[in-house]
Amino acid sequence: MKRALLAYSSFILLFLYIPLMILALYSFNDSRINAAWKGFTLHWYVDLFQNEAVIDAFWNSLLIALVTTAAATALGTLCALGLHTYKQRTRTMMSGLMYVPILVPDILMGLSMLLVFSQLHWELGKLTLIVAHITFSISFVVILLSARLASMGKKLQEAASDLGATPWQTFRYVTLPALLPGIISASLLTFTLSIDDFVISFFVSGPGSTTLPLYIYSMVKRGITPEINALSTILIGMVVILMILSEKFQTKGTDGRKGQLPF
Amino acid sequence: MRKGRLLALPAVVWLAVFFLLPIGFVFVLSFWERGTYGELIKSFTLQNFGRVFDPLYGRVLWETLKIAILTTVLCLIIGYPFAYTVTMVSKRRQSILLLLVTIPFWINFLVRSYAWIVILRSQGVVNTLLQKLGLIHEPLQLLYNTPAVVLGMVYTLLPFMILPVYVSLEQFDKQRLEAAYDLGATPWQAFWSITLPLTMPGVAAGSILVFVSSIGMFVVSDMMGGSKVSLLGNVIQNQFLGARDWPFGAALSFMLVLLSILLIYLYYKVVRRYSAAKGGEEV
Amino acid sequence: MITIEAVEKKFGDTVVIPPLSLRIQEGEFLTILGPSGCGKTTLLRMIAGFEQPTAGSMLLDGENIVDLPPYKRDMNLVFQHYALFPHMTVEQNIRFGLKMKKIPAAEQKKRAGEAMRLTQLTALSNRKPSQLSGGQQQRVAIARAIVNNPKVLLLDEPLGALDFKLRKDLQRELKQLQRNLGITFVYVTHDQEEAMSMSDRIAVMNEGRIEQIGTPQEIYHQPKTLFVAGFIGENNIMEVRSSRIAVRPERMNIRLLDEPTVVEGRICTIEDTEFVGNMEKLYVRDQETSESFIVYCYGSEPFQGQKGGEVRVSWRKEDEVKLQ
């Protein structure tokens, strides 16, 4: 039984990874049109780095993700700390409400913000993208850090207070250091979400604020080219690195338990 | 510590302004009318909702539901045994397997759908291979049909099923299973009467996530279905960015939300029922 | 030392502790003993300052401390699950309180060293809490508290999470530590054996009230209330001459019916016997009143009575303890 399940699971992993591997493999294939292997080349990567639109999209994505990460992490951390001081019932209700932005379909979130921006006559561009990205990221930060604060309990703060720490000292020497790995992991998550977002960005971006996912979409719409393979491969590589980093921080500082998945 | 409460304020205000307000505005807008040039006319009409059930859009709605249900069921059938296997291996291997499932989850779904395009298109890997082997002479049409869309959705949404199911299997007390064996249940009976009912909250959570994501999805259908497969998400997207009939798009979006709310409500019923069965443990 | 006057605690409409008064003397080891949910932890948390009493006053050396936050009270708490700071080493944990009070680093080091020596932690000073065993974590929690030279050390079931053998060892260590330091210990537990073996005085709590306070001997031999008589050890409780009395099982005398004797006694049937090593426990039922008793038989030879057999049970008048 266990053997059959293990074999089955390996098959599922192949199902998940083979398409990505093929994608990466063909980014090195020296053929523009078809899938026959014509030999190894870095040509498409060279093309990519000489393509100004791609470089622009990359810088846009990076800028938006960095600003979003800084703002959403700050807002979300403060919010989680604030909620932690609330009474149990209020806290449960508020953190329940924090799930709403995550559960609302992306498409609705995107178009609703498009509506409001257009009513406010805000020009669609980097600013509207940043605002939108912060909006969908805050909830993730709050939920992640609230879970962490809850698992810390009030005992550590009580212990600090008992040992003579004022509320500020308690925050400075106990709460914040114990929370720091969580904050780092939340900011990595935010960064990934922002870099990765397509649907919401699709609605609130304007000319001159194309991000990498938006650029890939428009490339695919125009026709399949090996450059898309190359760009996709780079994105996959970035995600893998971010994931491994985030995994490191998630388990650090806790008693070996992983941060709660947002489910 | 009283002052601490104010810390939550900036984020709450932010979400009120950029999340609640816009969503509320979409709701209001669904009762407005569209002017000749796509401008918005304040009024109160139910016409937009009437149009949702017009046969043309009714078919889209039906197609959307069909694909979403199919995707959810397939994800469940494929994902549950996988999650089950993960809980059976050693702790170290568990975290590796989980990481392996989570990585594709974070790779942009545009990239993931695109990977299948590379494989399935006329000059793609499968067709080239089959032609090389002489099995076919003309490339097969593997893309731009409903099965391709379902494949793309299952592929992109599978981690959404595996992770919550894994979490509930992980919390499941294996001693209960041993008790069932001890009382004479076969592994198969024990699975159906003990494990599955007690992991229902995870199954429900996973199904909701997959279902809600798939009914709002327009990218996979857009890329892998082409113009052949049009889903609710595609129509909404088109109303906002193409046809510029925003009030109608808003009404359609609300159908989407209504469906999601209904499902989330069902989810809580399931969770409550089964967590009561678990002896009141929090899920 | 600590005077608790008519302190009351309500959570909403539920009264957890009705007005309660208690005097804790300087240098004593006082144990608050009671079943779970009796309010003993709430009382301790009020003394430490984590719960605000609904009414009443608390004096520490004559100074009212009711309105002082925990960090301004000159006492320290050893938490039930230790609450060690996971991101700090053993030594950093122990120095935490001194650092908060801005004591010079050199003195911090000296005092932490002394505390670690007393608790046998010197070799572990650079470990993180997650690298310690339960008993070692317990020692860190104690060292972290005593390094501040508190006037009073409060301990909330500090040994509850440890296994039997370790608990026994640490009980003696704690008692030793208290004698050496000479500070007041207020110790909360639900374990009567622990309370008996360590305390100078025991306060038995039930449903928010202190039922009785006294030395372990007083509590054991002269229980005042039905609850105390029943909660501490095993006891035979009966109605005699319209008052309620308790007689300890080891004070009961038991003889076979056919043995010649001059003692009056009650005729009972043996319902069950239990051999527990150093003695035999007999469960008997009075044939007349159908009250049941437990009798301990110590003796080099096993008691001759069989299950179902008849025996005469008696006790001396002076072994009766009158209950309120």
Amino acid at site C281: K
pLDDT of residue B280: 40
Chain C: partners with 3+ C-beta pairs within 8 Å:
A
Asked if C130 reaches chain A (Cβ–Cβ under 8 Å), the answer is yes
Kindly identify which residue of chain A lies nearest to residue B232, measuring between CA atoms. A107
- Residue found under tokens 């002082």: C68
Section C278-282 average pLDDT: 87
pLDDT of residue B271: 73
Section C82-101 average pLDDT: 90
pLDDT of residue A253: 45
Rg (C-alpha) for chain C, rounded Å, is 24
* A131 confidence band (pLDDT: 50, 70, 90): very high
Nearest to A163 among C86, C100, C130 (CB): C100
**Residue of C100, C152, C155 to mutate when probing chain A, most A C-beta within 10 A:** C100
Contact C85 A159 (CB under 8 A): yes
Average pLDDT, chain C: 90
* ipTM attached to this prediction: 0.84
Asked if C145 reaches chain A (Cβ–Cβ under 8 Å), the answer is yes
CA distances in angstroms from C61 to A33, A79, C5, C58, listed in the order given: 90, 42, 14, 10
Look up residue A91 and give its two tokens: 């806290």
- Residue found under tokens 């939920």: A143
pLDDT of residue C132: 92
pLDDT of residue B282: 38
Between CA A201 and CA A197 the distance in angstroms is 6
Pairing of strands C201-206, C29-33: parallel
**Residue of A9, A129, A254 to mutate when probing chain B, most B C-beta within 10 A:** A9
Kindly identify which residue of chain A lies nearest to residue B40, measuring between CA atoms. A119
Lowest mean pLDDT among A221-225, B62-66, B270-274, C183-187: B270-274
Percent of chain A clearing pLDDT 90 (strictly above): 30
- Model confidence at C144: pLDDT above 90: yes
Asked if B81 reaches chain A (Cβ–Cβ under 8 Å), the answer is yes
Section B9-21 average pLDDT: 91
Helix, strand, coil percent values for chain B (each to nearest 5): 75, 0, 20
For B245-256, the pLDDT digits (tens) are: 888 888 888 888
Between CA A195 and CA A84 the distance in angstroms is 29
**Burial class of residue C62 in the structure, from the number of CB atoms within 10 Å of its CB (0-12 exposed, 13-18 middle, 19+ buried):** exposed
Contact C83 A255 (CB under 8 A): no
* C94 confidence band (pLDDT: 50, 70, 90): very high
Lowest mean pLDDT among B65-74, B195-204, B236-245, C181-190: B236-245
For B189-201, the pLDDT digits (tens) are: 888 888 888 888 8
For B22-81, the pLDDT digits (tens) are: 999 988 888 888 877 777 778 888 888 888 788 888 888 888 889 999 999 999 999 999
* A263 confidence band (pLDDT: 50, 70, 90): very low
pLDDT of residue A67: 97
Between CA A78 and CA A46 the distance in angstroms is 44
Pairing of strands C29-33, C184-189: parallel
Between CA A23 and CA C144 the distance in angstroms is 58
pTM for this predicted structure:
0.77
pLDDT of residue B141: 82
Contact C97 A164 (CB under 8 A): yes
Q: Which residues fall within 8 angstroms of residue B69, CB to CB, at 6 or more apart? A: B211
Pairing of strands C236-240, C63-64: unpaired
pLDDT of residue A35: 66
Look up residue B134 and give its two tokens: 């002489």
d(CA C87, nearest CA chain A) in Å? 6
* B223 confidence band (pLDDT: 50, 70, 90): confident
Average pLDDT, chain B: 83
pLDDT of residue B40: 77
- Model confidence at C98: pLDDT above 50: yes
Sign of CA dihedral B257, B258, B261, B262: negative
Q: Which residues fall within 8 angstroms of residue C17, CB to CB, at 6 or more apart? A: C7, C8, C9, C39, C42, C43, C208
d(CA B184, nearest CA chain A) in Å? 18
Kindly identify which residue of chain B lies nearest to residue A23, measuring between CA atoms. B115
Tally of CA atoms within 13 A in the half-sphere of B81 that contains its CB: 16
Section C86-112 average pLDDT: 92
pLDDT of residue A262: 36
For A133-188, the pLDDT digits (tens) are: 999 999 999 988 988 888 887 888 899 999 999 988 998 999 898 888 889 888 98
Section B119-141 average pLDDT: 82
d(CA A171, nearest CA chain C) in Å? 12
Asked if B19 reaches chain A (Cβ–Cβ under 8 Å), the answer is yes
Sign of CA dihedral C266, C271, C275, C281: negative
Sign of CA dihedral B179, B180, B183, B184: negative
- Model confidence at C35: pLDDT above 90: yes
Chain A: partners with 3+ C-beta pairs within 8 Å:
B, C
Between CA B156 and CA A122 the distance in angstroms is 34
Average pLDDT, chain A: 85
Contact C86 A254 (CB under 8 A): yes
pLDDT of residue B225: 81
For C293-323, the pLDDT digits (tens) are: 999 988 777 777 778 888 888 888 888 898 8
**Chain C CB contacts of A159 below 8 Å:** 77, 79, 83-85
Nearest to B211 by CA among B62, B66, B84: B66
**Chain B CB contacts of A222 below 8 Å:** none
pLDDT of residue A251: 58
Lowest mean pLDDT among B158-162, B177-181, C182-186, C247-251: B177-181
Kindly identify which residue of chain B lies nearest to residue A195, measuring between CA atoms. B108
- Model confidence at A255: pLDDT above 60: no
Between CA A244 and CA A252 the distance in angstroms is 13
Nearest to B75 by CA among B206, B181, B174: B206
